[in-house]
Amino acid sequence: MHITANFDAGNIEVINLEDKKNVQLAIRPDVGGEFFQWFNFRLTGQVGEQYVLNILNAGDAAFPAGWENYQAVASYDRDYWFRLPTSYKDGKLTITAELECETIQIAFFAPYSDERHQDLLAAVQMHPLVTLEHLGETLDNRDLTLVKISDGASNNDAPKRNIWITARQHPGETMAEWLVDGLLHSLLDGDNATGKLLLDKANFYIVPNMNPDGSVRGHLRTTQLGLT
């Protein structure tokens, strides 16, 4: 058995791997130690075997009430994500995985990787209504990018509104960038009547990831300096 979080947005600490029915893990806190809840790791084992993973410090997480009725997500191909049986009791989060392939990735929510973020920016910049603006570099020297979408003048007398949307101020909220992904593709789909109507009434200024440093580092809420 092998467990690693040594990849983009990875987060887990291994405490004990001696018993596959009681694998003991802990979530690594953000820089500063105040916040943690995001986890993202890969488990390699034997096909057909069941592994019981216990995150021992779950009760000290930023929002322990969020573990109630929660189910961790997992994927074999990093494309299709599904839920795993998960329970929370006495401050311990228990995830059960029966392997269908040798390696499974398990996470708090479906990750939105930096690689996927770069693919999104590259794809939307091909559209004639899109302009990418470089806002600056983070402390880890990553680009902070604004996506501007406008089809020009309004088709009516009312002036266009300017709508700003930002996502992932808290890097562990990956669902926010998944939402932005869907929004961008909907706005830029010429067959999407709602998207066309919105672009007739407004210009959009969208930052898909406000905290790329924290995202890559596997943080829940903070930047690389521990700032929220």
Q: At what angle do helices 174-187 and 114-124 cross, to 10 degrees?
A: 10
Residue 88 lies in domain = 2-107
Last residue of a domain, one of 107, 127, 145: 107
Are 96 and 128 contained in the same domain?
no
For residue 160, count CB atoms less than 10 angstroms from its CB and return exposed for 0-12, middle for 13-18, buried for 19 or more: middle
Are 6 and 103 contained in the same domain?
yes
Over 80: is that where the pLDDT of 114 sits? yes
CATH number of the domain bearing residue 61 = 2.60.40.3120
Q: Are 204 and 71 in contact (CB under 8 A)?
A: no
Of 155 and 67, the one with more pLDDT: 67
Of 228 and 223, the one with more pLDDT: 223
Are 95 and 128 contained in the same domain?
no
Q: What is the pLDDT of residue 144?
A: 97
CA-to-CA separations, 100 to 49, 182, 214, in angstroms, rounded: 9, 30, 32
Are 193 and 213 contained in the same domain?
yes
pLDDT tier at 44 (50, 70, 90 boundaries)? Answer: very high
Last residue of a domain, one of 60, 84, 107: 107
Over 80: is that where the pLDDT of 97 sits? yes
The model carries a pTM of: 0.93
Question: In this structure, what DSSP letter does residue 188 have?
Answer: T
Are 33 and 58 contained in the same domain?
yes
Are 140 and 95 contained in the same domain?
no
pLDDT tier at 225 (50, 70, 90 boundaries)? Answer: confident
